[in-house]
């Protein structure tokens, strides 16, 4: 636990140097919570080596083990859906071939790790919502921390308000509805 806490504190210090004061405070509080809360199962470190779509990546850890990661708290357009390719490309720009930390506590029904992907001190899941290239996945928002739930919800409202990304479309179809229609 001590090693884990020190690693997280170093990440927070790097973020403080790279980001604004408000974001640095957020990261510090998040790191403090993670370092002192035994309910968080794990932090996975590695390099993103593949992307399936706008909310699923593959991370290669230091032991050369691949882990499929489903970005928690968001749902991005499917590949065959409007903005599906743009969403995937944006996520690639954020994380592909970069060292990331994945904060996670469970697997989904497909065996993927559900987690928050942090690259260069930036929450990639939140960045996808802010860019208007993913929805805040409210069906699972109770699995998020209170802070993340609020940040993701506000990010979606902001993206909608300025018609960013998929919100330019007059009737953007959520991926969960698109999947239901294609079955």
Please pick, among 70, 88, 122, 156, the residue that the annotation labels catalytic: 70
Please pick, among 88, 112, 122, 156, the residue that the annotation labels catalytic: 112
SS3 per residue for the chain: CHHHHHHHHHHHHHHHHHCCHHHHHHHHHHHHHHHHCCCCCEEEEEEEEEEEECCEEEEEECCCCEEEEEECCEECCCCCCCCHHHHHHHHHHHHECCEEEEEEEEECCCCCEEEEEEECCEEHHHHHHHCCCCEECHHHHHHCCHHHHHHHHHHHHHHHHCCCHHHHCCCCCCHHHHHHHCC
Please pick, among 7, 14, 47, 78, the residue that the annotation labels catalytic: 78
Reply yes or no on whether 179 is catalytic.
no
Reply yes or no on whether 112 is catalytic.
yes
Reply yes or no on whether 70 is catalytic.
yes
Which residues are designated catalytic? Answer: 70, 78, 112
């Amino acid at each position: 636990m001590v090693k884990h806490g020190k690693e997280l504190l170093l990440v927070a210090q790097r973020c403080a140097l790279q980001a604004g004061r408000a974001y640095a405070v957020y990261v510090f509080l998040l790191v403090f919570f993670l370092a002192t809360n035994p309910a968080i199962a794990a932090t996975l470190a590695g390099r993103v080596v593949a992307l399936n779509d706008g909310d699923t990546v593959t991370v290669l850890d230091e032991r050369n083990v691949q882990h499929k990661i489903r970005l928690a708290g968001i749902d991005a357009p499917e590949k065959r859906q409007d903005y599906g390719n743009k969403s995937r490309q944006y996520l690639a720009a954020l994380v592909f071939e970069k060292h990331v930390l994945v904060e996670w506590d469970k697997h989904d029904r497909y065996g993927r790790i559900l987690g928050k992907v942090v690259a260069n001190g930036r929450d990639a899941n939140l960045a996808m919502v802010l860019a208007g290239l993913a929805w805040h996945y409210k069906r699972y928002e109770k699995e998020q921390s209170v802070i993340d739930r609020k940040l993701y919800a506000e990010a979606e409202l902001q993206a909608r308000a300025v018609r960013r990304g998929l919100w330019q479309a007059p009737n953007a179809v959520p991926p969960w509805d698109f999947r239901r229609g294609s079955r």
